Amino acid sequence: MRVASRQYSGNVTKQMFFSTRYIPMLKGLDLDGHEKVVKEALRVVEKYHDPIIDERIQQWKNGQKCDPEDLLDVLISLKDGKGNPILTADEIKAQIVKATEEIDRVAGKERLVEESDFPKLNNVKVCVREAFSRSALGRNPKVWEEPLKFKPERHLKQDGVSLTLTEADLRFFSFSTGLRGCKGIHLGSTVVFMLFARLLQCFSWSIPPGNGPTIDMTEEEDSMFMAKPLVAVAVAVAKPRLPAHVYPVHLT
């Protein structure tokens, strides 16, 4: 699972398997050389990221840190209703390099993410899809392996990630299906992807002061809303991460 969680965009994966798609028995030979390239890229990323993440986890453990200041702190401090950490160290490492790094690589910091970027933002899409795995089917262990774990990589496929938030084999269906199913699947999916991508691209997020060191993810008993809703206070919580001229409105 750890290895799978470090697999990167569907495009890379697609190339890796191109020549072996028709002759699967050649897979281990890595004839295209793509597997070697990807492994080396991962090795470099891990070399720089892992020590920083390990050190920060340690700081939280020994009490040197108790106030989340950035996304890494937030991921480390996420706890379930019983106070147990939601993400393991490896899961944090896999998350931290994914969506935001991908946006910076694809769109850069001098312009906002655009719809034409979506085919290259597979890690952003898988995070949204994972968040859309609703109750019942979306949390059924017969349908999803470890359904209660946040594992966006489960949506990565060899041929990329769907541009909509639907599942062909109906393993979750947020838009309903059939005759009375949603008519706005593409628009709805696009708006959700865009909102999430720009929130990640434009701001570094942290927990509002006064909320305590962790985000309580417990749900309300009779709905899927958070029992203690998370209030995003723009100035204190969202720190701009792009040059001022990129934002369409003046940020005060």
Which amino acid is it at 136?
Answer: A
Residue 64 binds to ligand HEM (criterion: CB under 6 A):
no
Which C-beta is closer to ligand HEM: that of 31 or that of 195? 195
Are 234 and 252 in contact by the 8 Å Cβ rule? The answer is no
Q: According to CB under 6 A, which one of 72, 92, 96, 192 is a site residue for ligand HEM? A: 192
Cα 27 to Cα 24: distance, rounded to the nearest angstrom: 5
Residue in this structure with the two tokens 């891990």, named with its chain if needed = 46
Are 175 and 181 in contact by the 8 Å Cβ rule? The answer is yes
Task: Choose one: 71-79, 138-146, 181-189, 210-218; the region binding ligand HEM (CB under 6 A).
Answer: 181-189
Which residue is closest to ligand HEM by CB? 184
Cα 8 to Cα 2: distance, rounded to the nearest angstrom: 12
Task: Choose one: 13-21, 58-66, 169-177, 195-203; the region binding ligand HEM (CB under 6 A).
Answer: 169-177
Q: Closest approach of Cβ 60 to ligand HEM, in Å?
A: 35
Residue 135 binds to ligand HEM (criterion: CB under 6 A):
no
Cα 4 to Cα 153: distance, rounded to the nearest angstrom: 7
Task: Choose one: 109-117, 133-141, 155-163, 184-192; the region binding ligand HEM (CB under 6 A).
Answer: 184-192
Taking CA atoms, 218 is separated from 5, 52, 212, in Å, by: 25, 29, 15
First CA to last CA distance, the chain:
43
Q: According to CB under 6 A, which one of 140, 158, 176, 218 is a site residue for ligand HEM? A: 176
Residue 137 binds to ligand HEM (criterion: CB under 6 A):
no
Binding-site ranges for ligand HEM (CB under 6 A): 174-176, 180-184, 187-188, 192
